[in-house]
């Protein structure tokens, strides 16, 4: 039961983007389309699972004073793996996401989960926590990307179903801020109702 809770809390109740307001830079930067959002979300999920797993496995061997730098090295290792794999097999997506792939290192969600969860829990629970949080992040990015793509170019996952071009501003920088603002307001309203 508690494993299930670890997994599902990332979606709505403790959603890293909409509720905890972490990882805003990639959230705003890459969500010009649903597909980009999903790709970034899955890349971050992989890093989260990997770093959570390793951090919880080695937590007893790391002296308390150097734990943050050690976590950063572990995270950076997984980010480098993602970077190289993406470059080799998904070059188009890699070019689209560009700078934001290496920047997963400084995504507060990853370090935050390592410090707040993985350093205190077992390997199994940490993997599930990473999976849940990562998918919650991916869900938020895909949702934001879908809304922006739909309003901005009348398409969804590159599948066009509106004749007109839509309001370009939603694909550009200002649209990111505005759509995210409204989404956060809606989600917090939903959370209040459930509570």
Partner 1 sequence: MEYAIIIIAAIFVNNVVLAQFLGICPFIGVSGKISTSVGMGGAVLFVMTLATVVTWLAQHYILVPLGITFLQTITFILVIAALVQMVEIILKKVSPALYGALGVFLPLITTNCAVLGVAILTIQKDFNLMEGVVFAISTALGFTLAMVIFAGIREHLDNMEVPKGMAGVPIALVTAGILALAFMGFTGLV
**CA–CA dist 148, 193 (Å, integer):** 26
Q: What is the largest CA-CA distance in the chain?
A: 60
C-beta of 72 vs 123, nearer to partner 1: 72
CA 150 to chain CA mean position, Å: 21
Q: Which among 170, 165, 182 is positioned nearest to 145, based on CA atoms?
A: 170
Smallest separation (angstroms) from partner 1 to the CB of 26:
8
**CA–CA dist 25, 182 (Å, integer):** 17
C-beta of 6 vs 107, nearer to partner 1: 107
C-beta of 22 vs 53, nearer to partner 1: 22
Q: What is the dihedral of CA 96, 46, 10, 56, to 10 degrees?
A: -150
C-beta of 6 vs 146, nearer to partner 1: 146
Buried b (16+ CB within 10 A) or exposed e, 174-188: ebbeebbeebbeebe
Measured N-to-C along each axis, helices 123-153 and 34-58 cross at an angle, to the nearest 10 degrees, of: 170
C-beta of 98 vs 124, nearer to partner 1: 98
C-beta of 69 vs 91, nearer to partner 1: 69
Q: Which among 3, 1, 2, 11 is positioned nearest to 194, based on CA atoms?
A: 11
Smallest separation (angstroms) from partner 1 to the CB of 141:
13
Smallest separation (angstroms) from partner 1 to the CB of 192:
9
Q: Which residues bind partner 1 (CB under 8 A)?
A: 21-22, 24-26, 28-29, 68-69, 72-73, 76-77, 79-80, 83-84, 99, 102-103, 105-108, 111, 169, 172-178, 180-182, 184-185, 188-189
Smallest separation (angstroms) from partner 1 to the CB of 57:
19
Smallest separation (angstroms) from partner 1 to the CB of 169:
7
Smallest separation (angstroms) from partner 1 to the CB of 9:
20
């Amino acid at each position: 039961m508690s494993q299930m809770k670890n997994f599902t809390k990332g979606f709505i109740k403790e959603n890293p983007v909409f509720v905890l307001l972490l990882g805003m830079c990639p959230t705003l930067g890459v969500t010009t389309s649903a597909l980009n959002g999903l790709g970034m979300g899955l890349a971050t999920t992989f890093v989260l699972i990997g770093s959570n797993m390793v951090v919880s496995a080695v937590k007893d061997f790391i002296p308390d004073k150097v734990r943050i730098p050690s976590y950063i090295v572990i995270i950076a290792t997984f980010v480098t793996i993602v970077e190289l794999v993406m470059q080799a097999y998904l070059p188009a997506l890699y070019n689209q996401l560009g700078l934001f792939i290496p920047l997963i290192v400084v995504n507060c969600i990853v370090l935050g989960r390592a410090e707040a969860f993985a350093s205190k829990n077992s390997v199994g629970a940490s993997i599930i926590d990473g999976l849940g949080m990562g998918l919650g992040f991916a869900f938020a990015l895909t949702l934001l990307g879908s809304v922006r793509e739909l309003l901005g170019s009348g398409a969804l996952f590159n599948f066009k179903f509106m004749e007109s071009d839509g309001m370009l501003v939603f694909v550009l920088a200002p649209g990111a801020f505005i759509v995210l603002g409204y989404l956060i307001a809606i989600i917090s309203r939903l959370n209040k109702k459930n509570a």
